[in-house]
Amino acid sequence: MELFEMTALELGAAIKRREIGVEEAARACLDRMSAQEGTVNAFVTVTEKEALKRAREVQARIDSGEMTHPLAGVPMAIKDLISTKGVRTTCSSRMLENYVPVFDATVVRKLDAIGAVCLGKTNMDEFAMGSSTESSWFGVTRNPWDPSRVPGGSSGGSAAAVAAREVFYALGSDTGGSIRQPASFCGVTGIKPTYGAVSRYGLLAYASSLDQIGPLTVDALDAAAVTRTIMGRDEMDSTSVDVPLPDMPQGDDLTGLRVGIPEDYFGEGLDADVRARVLDAAKALEAMGAVLVPVKMPMLEYAIPAYYVLACAEASSNLSRYDGVKYGFRPEKFEDLHDLYTTARSEGFGAEVKRRIMLGAFALSSGYYDAYYNKALRVKALIKRAFDACFEQADLLLTPAAPTTAFALGAHSDDPIQMYLGDIYTVSVNMAGLPGMVVPCGFDAAGLPVGAQLIGPAFGESQLFKAAHAYQMHTDFHRQRPDARKEG
């Protein structure tokens, strides 16, 4: 099997069999990045020298029998809002353009322990605020399937890097769909674990009650292996919990699995090709023994406004620390302390970040707190209750991940509301703290990937992996690569 046809676990197995060396795999990925980054721009920082040194160290520890994890030696990447000691972490913002952390995030430490080889930090929407990876201070990332289109966001760099096979898996973060929507747009597999399943220590916060770290991978087996590695209680994150690790999926028998089809997700505004491909996926699951159950999710229409009130409110609080004093961007000229604050934030933040800070500050302001923020919290509780009702009838839910396939670069740049509406199928999962997973399920008429979203009850990752793996045993959408299709 050719190197870039492999999944992360397949490459890890080949490394253990000594069919390929760790440094050889890393160099092959770095060469591929050199050839593609001029177009794709998936990376903010490439750590070539450090990666090759790391590859040699990992190889020695694999050869000695010290490192035995199935993913040991596999090249990967990290979204540029996850803290990496000694490697700049920018959040794709001018505000943190030269910020170099002095500590590793918990997920980075866990991956280091099993022998991951990080090749760099991936591009993203500034401070994770966006759905297209167009707001980055370091330029837009382009979709490997069609460079005139967006890769999704905010984890667009991670998704594009995996789709282009520049790395074999990448970490992203998901506040309202930022792993799942780019996974759909780029034709890769992505999961947002249950809130609290993965430590957020070292994740530069956007909205702390909604953020969650998760992987973007080639297939469900890789997603399960990475998720199992980074999960678990962390004393540095009081919201993390200690739960049993999800099972690695096996087989394709889904007999008796109840898959809910929420009628509200298939109504007006959904592209016809997307609807058809997701319903095709439902039929495929049914053919493997699953039982399709129609369910209702009546709170869907309130998810977007409630989400943006809550997320922006938390963002306005979390980003108040960037003031030009302690660290980050500091203007050359200012008259006094107040001018320093104003100038640093005006010049250091981009337009979308400033828009969300202002929205959040307004929602939290005296006289509007009850009308907006408190009301949004009540809607959040109702959304969780609506999901609980669905899971009384079904074990999993199957929905679209996004209303359309990848849209053209610049298509929504002047219409932020239209951009926000693209998150309609994903934000409610974060508000309820549930796990959500996207698997490639076909292509539209233009040849662009379509993703199907599986949603589970809290800590129901095992069921998600089981259903996704069974589906991928009978389809090859996740195996298809942009370069291979172009060559064909």
First to last CA, the chain: 18
Residue 455 to residues 270, 271, 396, Cα–Cα distance (Å)? 18, 20, 6
The amino acid that residue 191 corresponds to is I
- Is 121 assigned a catalytic role? no
Please report where in the chains the tokens 């991978």 appear, as a residue: 217
CA angle 15, 231, 241 (to 5 degrees): 165
DSSP run (H or E) holding 220: helix 220-230
Catalytic residue among 79, 192, 380, 466: 79
Find out whether 158 and 122 touch, Cβ atoms under 8 Å: yes
Do 182 and 159 form a contact (C-beta atoms < 8 A)?
yes
CA–CA separation, 130 and 140 (whole Å):
12
Q: Strand runs (DSSP E) across 26-67, as ranges?
A: 43-46
The two three-digit tokens of residue 79, written as one number: 């979204």
Whether a cis peptide bond, with omega within 30° of 0, leads into 428 is no
How many Å apart are CA 259 and CA 261, to the nearest integer? 7
Pull the structure tokens for residue 412: 């929504």
Element (H, E) at 407: none
Evaluate whether 438 touches 183 at the Cβ level (below 8 Å): yes
User: Which helix (H) or strand (E) covers residue 377, if one does?
Assistant: helix 375-393
- Strands 117-122 and 75-79 turn out to be parallel
Q: Is 326 a catalytic residue?
A: no
Question: Is 208 designated active site?
Answer: no
Set 178, 184, 199, 240: catalytic member: 178
Q: In degrees rounded to 5, what are phi and psi of residue 372?
A: -115, -65
Catalytic residue among 92, 135, 154, 173: 154
Structure tokens at 283: 């039929």
Measured distance CA(268)–CA(266) in Å, rounded: 7
- Secondary structure (DSSP) of 286-349: HHTT-EEEEE--TTHHHHHHHHHHHHHHHHHHHGGG-SSSSSS---S--SSHHHHHHHHHHHHS
- The tokens for 217 are 């991978």
Structure tokens at 410: 């610049």
Q: Give the helix/strand (H/E) hosting 463.
A: helix 461-473
Count of CB atoms situated within 10 Å of the CB of 13: 13
Catalytic residue IDs: 79, 154, 178
